Amino acid sequence: MHVFGKLFWLPKNNNSLAEYEDAAFPCVEQFDSEVSEFKCAVADGATETSFAALWAKLLVEGYAEKTELAMLRKRWNADVRQKDLPWYAEEKLEKGAYAAIAGLHLKKGRGKKNIFTVEAVGDCCVFHIRENNMLSSFPLSASEQFNNSPALICSHDDASVDAAMKRLTQKGEWKDGDSFFLLSDAIACWALKRQEEMQDAANVLQNIETQEDLCRLVDEERHLILEDGRPAMKNDDVTLLCVTVCS
């Protein structure tokens, strides 16, 4: 199975690169490999929580490496406890970090079918695209489904938090040349709205070939004000991971 792809990302407008709180795996600009199976993921750290970027990074790496959630929580706590923090930061730390995640698992089938599995908690999305057509979007499939309180994974081990995680899974079949786009919520919501209105989101996403292409698109859409007074794309961190697969 031949898998290749590219990763692009941007922080919020007027934020520094160090303030970016999304994460992706693999965390490389481009990748190209022959494998029997492949796992990748995108996560979106909740800005209002402490060390959300670290938690998002641990989640995507843990998904790809099949690490238990309990171990990821231990790693997060061990890392943040080593830091010298003021008292108010210590108090915030007790509430933990939160993040949404969407992961993709591609496998080369033994028979005629090649299977993929998508898992998600929250509002990061995976688009399945074939021949410039969007076949599916998971876990959200309409722009109106996005809100300000998505399901999130917490860095603390708490039964009530775990019960609200709402981990969702979907399986499907991939064919030669299929592409999968993993997106954090701001660009996912924008792309679904674009699809609803113009039916060309797949074409727009596939035409993003460089970091400059993404910067130009995001800047234009963040500054485009709609009739309801809101920008076409929310000012949030943006992550786009594109994966193409062939037998």
How confident is the prediction along the chain (247 residues), in pLDDT tens digits per residue?
A: 999 999 999 999 999 999 999 999 999 999 999 999 999 999 999 987 789 999 999 999 999 999 999 999 999 999 888 777 776 666 677 788 999 999 999 998 877 789 999 999 999 999 999 999 999 999 999 999 999 989 999 998 875 566 567 889 999 999 999 999 999 999 999 999 999 999 999 999 999 999 999 999 999 999 999 999 999 999 999 999 999 999 8
Domain at 2-40+99-151+168-246: CATH architecture: 4-Layer Sandwich (3.60)
Annotated domain spans of the chain: 2-40+99-151+168-246
Length of the chain: 247
State the pTM of this model.
0.94
Q: Which CB contacts under 8 angstroms, 24+ apart, belong to 9-16? A: 9/214, 9/237, 9/238, 9/239, 9/240, 10/214, 10/215, 10/218, 10/237, 10/238, 11/237, 12/235, 12/236, 12/237, 13/219, 13/222, 13/235, 15/237
Give tens-digit pLDDT for 116-165.
999 999 999 999 999 999 999 999 999 999 999 899 999 988 755 665 67
